């Protein structure tokens, strides 16, 4: 027993000695700002620091990001705002690091998230927030759950001040520029508008995927933060604005970048008085007339308003021909402005067909954003007709053998034009068989011809008004004729 115990003790000593002789396994120490309580203090702005998430861990009560899901590691930074101002945070991830940057307002042990963003395909993330004077904010950098750890560069700074009213005068030809969501977020312009005058306004959002917006503020505006905008344009667009009585003066525009788009955001803003082709009553287009012009979806010449009248129930055809017809919209509106039909972006010449009752209507040709070119619009209205036929003055007539009977055709409303009458005979075995066709001409809405049945039996006739340039074709039902003498054995 003693011998066995000695051997066990000796073996344990040998093993211990062997382990002690091996080098220790390499373990990466966590960064100094791994925990929230050890956040690296950024004492002044701007501040630029290099950091790493290699070896980082996660706090027991780590908050989830408002931009992504739960985190697996994080490092922290702290900044105290000396004054109320907008603060921007920019992150450039190195290597294969995919991460989020989150900003929290620290109030004792509680954190309130105020901003966040995730890295894009280039490893860039940026966000901003309005800091309150004397308040401390924590900035967290955390890799995504499936991301490799890595290094990064973090910049915290005070971006350019937001634009203030009234802004420089907007040139008659308009003005454009570039915004971004962090540094250059706003631009202000001003222009004098008169009460009772209608103005065309176009904000071109020239960057695909961005959403540049603008607000128009009345004369006397001292701050863009008071919410007094009289109109807003979201993600660019065209609209008409008419100041009301007593509101003439210098108006201000505030153009805003999109907080959700990471790249440069290009815009163009233009304002000009509206003419008779841009607003009611609109440019009149007669029947079978053509109107040509040029539109630019990124300028105030983005829309053409045309009007026309329909005096009887009609079939309307509008044809829009333009090199970029797929980027032009053709809309039909009633006199109250309700959209009846739209041929919008189907490609090639746009053709709109619609049956209309008597009334006043409007056609709108509008260029979509980033499209421009000439167009030609053709209008064709044809009155809807109704055709009826009688034989011997009735829908179901009778005649004696050898008697000529009148065939009468009426076309309403009182149209003039070609009429085709088709006559058939009845065969008791095979049914109705074609007999002949008569070509007539209606005048004042009527046409007629005599018909001498060559034999007894059952006959029928139908008529069609073949249409003219101003009247649509139509067809009648059948009128029948029974030809025969008295019955006899």
pLDDT tens for each residue of the chain, 489 residues long = 333 343 333 333 333 344 344 444 456 899 999 999 999 999 999 999 999 999 999 988 888 888 887 777 999 999 999 899 999 999 999 999 999 999 999 988 889 999 999 999 899 999 999 999 999 999 999 999 888 899 999 999 999 988 999 999 999 999 999 999 999 999 999 999 999 999 999 999 999 889 999 999 999 999 998 779 999 999 999 999 999 999 999 999 999 999 888 889 999 999 999 999 999 999 999 999 999 999 999 999 999 999 999 999 999 999 999 876 568 999 999 999 999 999 886 555 789 999 999 999 999 999 998 899 999 999 999 999 999 999 999 999 999 999 999 999 999 999 999 999 999 999 999 999 999 999 999 999 999 999 999 999 999 999 999 999 999 999 999 999 999 977 776
Distance of CA 99 to the CA centre of its chain: 32
- Strand partners of residue 268: 176, 204
Cα separation, 453 vs 59, in Å, equals 105
Topology of 283-383 in CATH? Jelly Rolls (2.60.120)
Q: What pLDDT was estimated at residue 149?
A: 92
**Structure tokens of 222?**
């001292």
Q: In CATH, which of 3.40.630.30, 1.10.340.30, 1.50.10.10, 2.60.120.380 is domain 175-273? A: 2.60.120.380
Q: What pLDDT was estimated at residue 35?
A: 94
pTM score, whole prediction: 0.77
Cα separation, 82 vs 402, in Å, equals 114
Residue 272, C-beta contacts closer than 8 angstroms, at least 6 positions apart: 172, 199, 200, 300
Q: What pLDDT was estimated at residue 424?
A: 98
Q: Which CATH code fits 36-157?
A: 2.60.120.380
> φ and ψ at 327, to 5 degrees?
-105, 5
Domains 36-157 and 386-483 share a fold: no
Residue with tokens 């004077």: 133
Cα separation, 21 vs 18, in Å, equals 5
Q: What pLDDT was estimated at residue 345?
A: 65
Q: What pLDDT was estimated at residue 68?
A: 80
Architecture of domain 386-483: Sandwich (2.60)
Q: What pLDDT was estimated at residue 67?
A: 87
Q: What pLDDT was estimated at residue 353?
A: 96
Q: What pLDDT was estimated at residue 9?
A: 33
Residue 487 exposed, middle or buried by CB count within 10 Å (0-12, 13-18, 19+):
exposed
Domain boundaries, the chain: 36-157, 175-273, 283-383, 386-483
Under 8 Å between Cβ of 99 and 148: no
Q: What pLDDT was estimated at residue 324?
A: 67
- Strand partners of residue 110: 107
Cα separation, 53 vs 143, in Å, equals 7
Q: What pLDDT was estimated at residue 453?
A: 96
Q: Is 471 left (phi over 0), alpha (psi -120 to 50) or beta?
A: beta
Dihedral angle of Cα 465, 467, 471, 473, to the nearest 10 degrees? 60
């Amino acid at each position: 027993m003693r011998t066995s115990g000695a051997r066990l003790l000796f073996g344990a000593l040998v093993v211990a000695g062997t382990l002690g002789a091996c080098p220790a396994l390499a373990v990466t120490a966590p960064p100094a700002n791994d925990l929230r309580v050890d956040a690296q203090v950024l004492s002044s702005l701007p501040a630029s620091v290099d950091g790493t998430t290699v070896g980082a861990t996660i706090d027991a009560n780590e908050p989830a990001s408002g931009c992504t899901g739960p985190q697996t590691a994080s490092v922290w930074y702290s900044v105290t705002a000396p004054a109320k101002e907008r603060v921007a945070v920019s992150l450039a991830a190195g290597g294969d690091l995919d991460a989020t940057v989150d900003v929290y307002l620290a109030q004792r042990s509680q954190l309130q998230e105020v901003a966040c963003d995730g890295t894009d395909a280039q490893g860039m993330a940026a966000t901003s927030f309005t800091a309150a004077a004397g308040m401390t904010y924590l900035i967290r950098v955390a890799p995504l759950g499936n991301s490799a750890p890595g290094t990064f560069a973090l910049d915290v700074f005070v971006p350019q001040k937001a634009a203030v009213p009234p802004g420089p005068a907007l040139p008659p030809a308009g003005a454009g520029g570039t915004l971004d969501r962090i540094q250059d977020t706003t631009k202000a312009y001003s222009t004098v508008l008169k009460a009772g005058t209608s103005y065309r306004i176009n904000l071109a959002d020239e960057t695909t995927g961005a959403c540049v917006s603008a607000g128009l503020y009345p004369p006397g505006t001292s701050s863009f933060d008071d919410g007094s905008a009289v109109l807003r344009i979201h993600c660019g667009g065209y609209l008409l604005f008419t100041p009301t009585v007593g509101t003439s003066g210098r108006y201000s525009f505030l153009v805003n970048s999109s907080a959700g788009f990471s790249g440069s955001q290009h815009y163009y803003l233009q304002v000009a008085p509206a003419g008779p082709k841009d607003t009611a009553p609109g440019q009149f287009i007669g029947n079978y007339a053509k109107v040509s012009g040029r539109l630019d979806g990124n300028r105030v010449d983005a829309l053409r308003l045309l009007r026309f009248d329909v005096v009887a129930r009609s079939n309307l055809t509008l044809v829009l021909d333009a090199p970029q017809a797929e980027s032009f919209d053709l809309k039909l509106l009633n006199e109250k402005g309700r959209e009846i039909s739209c041929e919008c972006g189907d490609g090639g010449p746009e053709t709109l067909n619609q049956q209309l009752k008597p009334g006043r209507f409007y056609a709108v040709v509008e260029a979509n954003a980033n499209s421009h070119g000439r167009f030609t619009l053709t209008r064709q209205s044809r009155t809807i007709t109704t055709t009826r036929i009688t034989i011997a003055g009735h829908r179901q007539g009778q005649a004696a053998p050898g008697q000529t009977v009148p065939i009468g055709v009426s076309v309403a409303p009182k149209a003039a034009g070609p009429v085709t009458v088709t006559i058939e005979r009845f065969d008791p075995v095979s049914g109705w068989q074609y007999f002949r066709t008569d070509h007539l001409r209606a005048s004042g809405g009527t046409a007629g011809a005599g018909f001498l049945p060559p034999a007894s039996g059952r006959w029928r006739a139908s008529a069609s008004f073949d249409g003219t340039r101003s009247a649509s074709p139509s067809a009648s039902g059948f009128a029948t004729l029974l030809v025969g003498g008295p019955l006899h054995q």
